[in-house]
Amino acid sequence: MINFGYKISTPRSIDMDSADSRLYCQLVEAVPSYRYCIGCGGCTATCSAGQFTDFNIRKAHFLFSRRQYDKLASDTFTDTDLNKCMLCGKCSLVCPRGVNTRGLILQMRKLLLK
């Protein structure tokens, strides 16, 4: 194979028509304000856990909205990213859209544990 000095990234597109939306719908039902998220990243910027770990709350709920639950859950749930959140609530205070981000984390944990 010829080396051009770069490589083409693996496609990250997902087929939303065939994706399992049940968990996502349950999350939106439990935390209706999730609909208003514009992905600004304010929650990530202020996150207490993000200061000390690689936890990224926007990435977490973004993966959930992409139905990529497998990237958030594991057999041993304790080592997943969601458990790095301390539920301090700072992210909820700064969200310009009033998303209950703390509630989002709690619900994602519950839904993924089922």
Residues that bind ligand SF4 (CB under 6 A): 37-43, 47-49, 57-58, 85-91, 95-97, 99, 101-102, 105
**Rounded CA separation 71/9 (Å):** 18
Q: Any residues with CB less than 8 A from the CB of 80 and at least 6 apart, and which? A: 72, 73, 74, 112
Specify the residue, 15 or 23, whose C-beta has the smaller distance to ligand SF4.
Answer: 23
Write down the least CB distance from residue 2 to ligand SF4, Å. 41
Tell me whether residue 31 is exposed, middle or buried, using C-beta atoms within 10 angstroms of its C-beta: 0 to 12, 13 to 18, 19 or more: buried
Specify the residue, 11 or 67, whose C-beta has the smaller distance to ligand SF4.
Answer: 67
Write down the least CB distance from residue 54 to ligand SF4, Å. 12
Specify the residue, 9 or 36, whose C-beta has the smaller distance to ligand SF4.
Answer: 36
